[in-house]
Structure 1
Amino acid sequence: MSGPDDLLARTRAVLPSWLAVYYQEPIEIERGEGRHVWDADGRRYLDFFGGILTTMTAHALPEVTKAVSDQAGRIIHSSTLYLNRPMVELAEQIAAVSDIPDAKVFLTTSGTEANDTALLLASSLRRSNQILALRNSYHGRSFSTVAITGNRTWSPTSLSPFQVYYVHGGQQYRSPYAGLSDGEYIAACVTDLNEVLDQAGGDVAALIAEPIQGVGGFTSGPDGLLGAFADVLRERGILWISDEVQTGWGRTGEHFWGWQAHGSTPDIVTFAKGIGNGLSMGGVIARAEVMDCLGANSISTFGGSPLTSAGALANLRYLLDHDLQGNAARHGPTLLDGLRAHGSPIIGDVRGKGLMIGVELVRPGTGSPGEPAPELANAVLEACKRRGLLVGKGGLHGNALRIAPPLTLTAEEAEEGLAILVAAIEEVTP
């Protein structure tokens, strides 16, 4: 079998040049178990990124692998043209935990497709192609979701099927409203929202917002902000789409869904990533009147396939039965408080909730909020890898570490990961 250098060359030869790959010497992850993965050379890593927040419970979770194996032995695929028991059972379970009244669920293959569907529902119901989104946001890589992404790093084209208006509120650290109290910050963002709506004219279809921005570097506004936005939207008949692709399923510890920290209920919720624990699964939850608004026929060839639905249902049941939301609440503070207490001159901000933590790195001595230091983020990523820890990075400037272990993380693993992070930060500090 060829080595990583040969595999990298083959990757570059046959796959698009715009596919990012981590590390100066990329690794091939060959297998995983629990919170650990092994590369092709047999080296073990503590995984604090979970395939971009996708391995939600654990690698090779026996309950999921058994459900997938059993289903594969019966039938792998049929499409939505036929009755599909695993899909219905999963949709019933999701509706039950959704906290959305009169909920219906549509299953997709990804978060991008889920957000596409939410935009289709909102624009069809409202008969409008005007969309509100947060600055610094990310909602997918398709033509429509790139169009509403407020982070230039992930927007390769200015062409769009939507008229998009970006509002403040996605982050506080580098906001023009930084330094305000939470209440003052919310008031300022609501004023901005009203001004944007007044200038937009016509009927805006929806606001789409991540409760905590993922690719944006795990940034957010204060609790209650999206609820304050919802009050304004409701007066104007505008829908609220909560993008829970990264914040859903209890990752924040304090709530099952990120939107529940904001005191109001969205009209549409999108999800993906963690529900499948690595299987290609996403979806949309909405009130029946919203979900059923489309007037044309539709099907899904792969969304909600028997195989992925069986695995996702086993994964969700495991999460609920073992109170993994509570586990995130217990062990998240070890990382969050530990990183805040470190006091490194290259740490500009430590933020997040539960097991969703962002660390923004800055060049020391450059004031507040500090000049972004993407080179230091890359260096910490490499230093963590050498010490056996995998983390992610993001942010508009590529200078934020993204820390999101599987939700079965143990106390010992939290302490181990924190020690490695601190050592890596100290190593690269000028």
Structure 2
Amino acid sequence: MPDWLALFYREPIELTHGEGRHVWDADGKRYLDFFGGILTTMTAHALPEVTKAVSEQAGRIIHSSTLYLNRPMVELAERIATLSGIPDARVFFTTSGTEANDAALLLATNYRRSNQVLALRNSYHGRSFSTIGITGNAAWSPTSLSPLQTLYVHGGVRSRGPYAQLSDPEFIEACVADLEDMLAQTQRGSVAALIAEPVQGVGGFTLPPDGLFAAFREVLQQHGILWISDEVQTGWGRTGDHFWGWQAHAASGPPDMLTFAKGIGNGMSIGGVVARAEVMNCLDANSISTFGGSPITMAAGLANLTYLIEHDLQGNARRVGGLLIERLRAVAAGLPVVREVRGRGLMIGVELVDPDGSPSAQAATLALEHARERGLLIGKGGLEGNALRIAPPLSLSVAEAEEGAALLEDALRQVQAEIEEADIEGGQS
């Protein structure tokens, strides 16, 4: 394995099996899973409906490629096209969110005949050569080389930066002015698309005020610029209030394209892009996917999506996620190490700081370790690596939310004590 392949924890753990909202490691220890394989185990571990669909499809045929029709792919494409809200939608399946965003960039740049792309600061869109080129988070961007010319605008981070002290309407106005100023410095008609996460995932679950992208869309349409909503982490009801993240900005109508992945497969490798037909059909060369839309992953996606909708997991994310956020905010009120608890639904970020208020990656690393010791798995991210990322399966119960909050509170209290002790020792030296 390469040296740059990241692993959580001082002593990395091997997960051997899971059930519901829990997983077990190779030593037999059970954990409450509040990260779901980076927001990928969306409904539950070992969900019977999904495992049955995978098993039955595997007994028929596992692979064929997009050169041949397969019924699960067509059925899932039809359902996603309808759910997307995009008129006359077309769906292309990939194997990951990175590949989905890569395909969206290919479509946008070809449709607009331009390699200029607008992206948000603090963003993350994947690890391919093209998606690294539009990632506004230096920790996840190992090269400055890119086939694209990327222009970064404000808007993804509400509580830090030059506009943090503004009211929500003033924040939106300032971000729009920044966008307009950026476009005024480009040749008219030269920008292909704006790509943006409604909630920035790797960036630490930061989000703008509702309505920002509606305001952006008004400007984009004046220039003919496409809007790509990166729904890899926000899609399928995780934010609770909406099925897609873009719907928090619905005054503008649907985006021209949206990308998806992660949760739809409940662990199977599914990604894809949805676009209106005019954009999707703009390619004038052959293009296929060897593994995108495979019969076995599509069967899993269909079963998972059916379970999600029939059991109203979006509503559960809204209800249980709301309780969990309020519980964590109550915890944070007594802990100076916690600067902010933010998020929506079951997509929650907890930002940690040093006693002087500066971002603390060390505190986040300690919190990860102490939570793991107590049987709770969480993630981390943020531009400075100081944000905890909490994203349990959407079937999380109230009791499990309370349990996880209590475990995290205990872990954070230990972090607070260790940070204060280190600060005192540093002052004495």
TM range (shorter): over 0.9
Q: Look up the equivalent residue of 1:416 and give its one-letter code.
A: E
- Residue-by-residue CA offset, 1:10-68 (whole Å, 9 max, x unaligned): xxxxx011110000111000000000000000000000000000000000000000000
Q: Secondary structure at the match of 2:410?
A: helix
Equivalent pairs: percent with the same residue?
72
Deviation at 1:297, TM superposition (A): 1.1
Deviation at 1:334, TM superposition (A): 1.9
Give the structure-2-normalised TM-score.
Answer: 0.95
Deviation at 1:100, TM superposition (A): 1.0
Give 1:387's aligned residue: 374
Match of 1:92 among 78, 81, 100: 78
Deviation at 1:230, TM superposition (A): 0.6
Are 1:285 and 2:270 matched, yes or no? no
Give 1:122's aligned residue: 108
- Residue-by-residue CA offset, 1:332-379 (whole Å, 9 max, x unaligned): 122211111121101111100000000000012x2xxx2001101000
Q: Secondary structure at the match of 2:320?
A: helix
Q: Secondary structure at the match of 1:74?
A: coil
Cα distance between partner residues in 2 of 1:144 and 1:97:
28
Cα distance between partner residues in 1 of 2:86 and 2:311:
23
Match of 2:173 among 187, 190, 197: 187
> Which 5+ residue runs of structure 1 have no aligned equivalent?
1-14
Are 1:236 and 2:223 matched, yes or no? yes
- Alignment of structure 1 residues 21-32 onto 2, 5 Å: 21-32=7-18
Write out the 4+ residue segments of structure 1 that deviate beyond 6 Å after TM superposition: none
- Residue-by-residue CA offset, 1:138-192 (whole Å, 9 max, x unaligned): 0000000000000000000000100100000011121210011100000000000
Q: Look up the equivalent residue of 2:341 and give its one-letter code.
A: V
Cα distance between partner residues in 2 of 1:200 and 1:347:
41
- Alignment of structure 1 residues 63-212 onto 2, 5 Å: 63-202=49-188, 203-212=190-199
Equivalent pairs counted in the alignment come to: 412
Match of 1:376 among 341, 363, 380: 363
Root-mean-square deviation (CA, aligned residues, Å) is: 0.6
Give 2:258's aligned residue: 269
Match of 1:424 among 369, 391, 411: 411
Deviation at 1:98, TM superposition (A): 1.0
Q: Secondary structure at the match of 2:336?
A: coil
Deviation at 1:201, TM superposition (A): 2.0
Cα distance between partner residues in 1 of 2:165 and 2:80:
39
Cα distance between partner residues in 1 of 2:106 and 2:212:
25
Give 1:400's aligned residue: 387
Give 1:351's aligned residue: 342
Give the structure-1-normalised TM-score.
Answer: 0.95
Cα distance between partner residues in 2 of 1:133 and 1:25:
36
Give 2:400's aligned residue: 413
Q: Secondary structure at the match of 1:200?
A: coil
Deviation at 1:424, TM superposition (A): 0.6
- Alignment of structure 1 residues 244-263 onto 2, 5 Å: 244-263=231-250
Cα distance between partner residues in 1 of 2:61 and 2:119:
40
Deviation at 1:99, TM superposition (A): 1.0
Cα distance between partner residues in 1 of 2:160 and 2:353:
12
Cα distance between partner residues in 1 of 2:307 and 2:321:
20
